[in-house]
Amino acid sequence: MASAIRRFPIDKESLEAGDKRAFDKLVQAVELLPALYLKQKNPKYPGANLYPPDASREEIESAGKKNPALLDPYTIVERSRAGDLVAVPYREKFTKELTEIAKLLKEAAAFTSDKTLKAYLVSRAKDLLGNNLDESNALWLQTANAKIGFVIGPFDRFLDRHFHKKRAYSAWLGILNEEQTSHMRNFAKAMLTSERRYLPGAKLAKAAEVRVRVEETALMAGLDADFEFVSNNLPSSADTKLIKKSGTMSTVFLPVVRWKFSSYIKPVYESVFAETLEAGYSDQEIELGLLRMSVLDELRRSLARYDDAVSRLSEVFAYMDEVYGDISTIKSAAYLYLKGVLQERELEAILVAEVCQALAYVGTSAKKSEYASLAKGYIALLDFLLNGGALQKTAKGFSFDMKRALIAVDHLEGVFDNYVALGTREETKAFFEGLDTGEVLEKFAPAFQSFPQEKKD
């Protein structure tokens, strides 16, 4: 269900008086975001409204060599009267909206007693009207234990299907769920005890620290709302300097986990697996599997950042980034199972949640062209599962061989690891073009019928 803003019921009683007033100001700030995001979005064109619709990738790339501002993450590219491509910084293009938002952030900062949040809001207000968000991003990472969780700014790059460079606006506001955060931090620690090995020659951007928080989200707007992400990991994968210096933080949006489960995961499960899986997983098991998967996914992606991946792979990075996190998650989950952290059924629930999520993204991409990049990665996962014998069509749905699924996932993880760490854009693109997308879409077509109907923004 497309929407540039999503609202969830929230209980503010745990907030002190000052924070309640700050919270209300931040609600107003988030509510200003959709108008901004919708000016960037345009699913008709691969460049959205970030580039002129008649500008080809080649033209932009060629012009960008003489004028690097054209490929800057924070500029809109337009045509001058003479027909040349010119770069307009976001701060100029969206001055009115950004000024209003910045004012609200400063007002919120005045109310909150949380020093980390205060410093971050003041800095973000300044950065929104500046050249980048570097200073306020670093301060945001210090808010890991703040009661209020708040992000606003241009981060993810999925709207830019030309180069995966330009950032789209997003915002979220929530309250820390202390119990779940503590639980998931413990869970995360069990995963983080091992040290990953990396391919020789890979330019690893090692995160200084990896943080996680779980929030009761009140509002979500912009790209994160539109793409229905259950979690987010910042700084962006392109901000490797900051990642190396200050680390990352993942935010899990509990209401979105619940909503996504009931709107997509559960219908897919009932359509595809309910009659074929003897074990029969309860709603709680699969929803918890989705939550655990989200936490592990964000952490695994934090650990697989490379200095040159985004620039080397360009738009094909978007095909892999999300699903690479998911399949690394499954590999981690299998290891946690062997260490006794997860029971067998819990591992299975994570696998079921992942496959249902993959089907959900692929199924929705037929109606949402902006999901096209994401869907490619999930098609690769489904392709490997089908060809590895992990998923087989039956009269009642699909059978699911979990052991084969783990083998297939392991195989795909090796492939993606190679491309993300060292691969070229051309060879990675060739891999995706070689997948039998048609077979995947045809086999799972019935599962896609069970999704919510599209709503217009």
Query: Site for another protein (CB under 8 A): which residue of 133, 144, 334, 355?
Result: 334
Query: Site for another protein (CB under 8 A): which residue of 348, 354, 370, 383?
Result: 348
Query: Site for another protein (CB under 8 A): which residue of 99, 131, 194, 284?
Result: 194
Q: What sign has the CA pseudo-torsion 202, 205, 211, 217?
A: negative
Query: Site for another protein (CB under 8 A): which residue of 187, 306, 431, 448?
Result: 187
Site for another protein in 85-124 (CB under 8 A): none
Output the smallest distance, CB 236 to another protein, in A.
26
Name beta bridge partners: 220: 6, 172
Site for another protein in 292-331 (CB under 8 A): 331
Q: What sign has the CA pseudo-torsion 158, 419, 329, 412?
A: positive
Report which of 238, 224, 234, 221 is spatially closest to residue 32, judged by C-alpha positions.
Answer: 221
Output the smallest distance, CB 299 to another protein, in A.
13
Q: Is 195 in the site for another protein (CB under 8 A)?
A: yes
Q: CA 92: distance to chain centroid?
A: 27
Output the smallest distance, CB 186 to another protein, in A.
5
Q: Is 339 in the site for another protein (CB under 8 A)?
A: yes
DSSP 149: E
Name the residue nearer to another protein (CB basis): 312 or 331: 331
Q: Is 336 in the site for another protein (CB under 8 A)?
A: yes
Query: Site for another protein (CB under 8 A): which residue of 99, 343, 394, 424?
Result: 343
Tokens linked to 326 = 């998911």
Q: Is 145 in the site for another protein (CB under 8 A)?
A: no
Query: Site for another protein (CB under 8 A): which residue of 17, 82, 338, 395?
Result: 338
Q: Is 335 in the site for another protein (CB under 8 A)?
A: yes
Q: Is 190 in the site for another protein (CB under 8 A)?
A: yes
Show the CA angle centred on residue 263, arms to residues 258 and 268, nearest 5°: 115
Site for another protein in 391-420 (CB under 8 A): 402-403, 406, 410
Tokens linked to 241 = 């300097």
Tokens linked to 197 = 């090995």
DSSP 318: H
Tokens linked to 88 = 């307009």
Please work out the total of residues on this chain that contact another protein, with binding judged by CB under 8 A. Answer: 27
Separation between Cα atoms, residue 342 and residue 293, nearest integer Å: 12
Name beta bridge partners: 169: 154
The CA dihedral of 412, 244, 298, 318, to the nearest 10 degrees, is -60
Name the residue nearer to another protein (CB basis): 65 or 197: 197
CB 230 within 8 A of CB 256: yes
CB 63 within 8 A of CB 93: no
Output the smallest distance, CB 211 to another protein, in A.
15
Name the residue nearer to another protein (CB basis): 13 or 195: 195
Residues of this chain that bind another protein (CB under 8 A): 186-190, 193-197, 331, 334-341, 343-344, 347-348, 402-403, 406, 410
